[in-house]
Amino acid sequence: PTFQYGCAQNPVFLNIYAKFFQQFGIHLPHAPNAGIYHQYRGDVSVSHKGEILIWQPAN
């Protein structure tokens, strides 16, 4: 698969997911001061579908 870099962001929806998953003991980093997500868009080899978010912790 081949994905293209889109942007660096902290998606708002991850706040909702993080709060939901906390009740199951799963931690998702989402605080803006903790780092940032890099977004890679759509698999260009098969109709540009999909998205990948890769976490990069703050230094």
Q: Give the mean pLDDT of 28-34.
A: 84
Q: What is the mean pLDDT of the chain?
A: 88
State which residues form the domain around 33.
Answer: 4-57
CA distances from 11 to 1, 2, 33, 44 (A): 23, 22, 13, 22
The total of structural domains in the chain comes to 1
pLDDT at 1: 65
What is the identity of the amino acid at 50? G
How far is the first Cα of the chain from the last one, in angstroms, to the nearest whole number? 30
Q: For the whole model, what pTM was predicted? A: 0.76
pLDDT at 8: 95
Residues 6+ apart with CB under 8 A from 11: 37, 53
Contact 27, 34 (CB under 8 A): no
- pLDDT tens digits for 33-58? 889 999 998 877 777 778 899 999 99
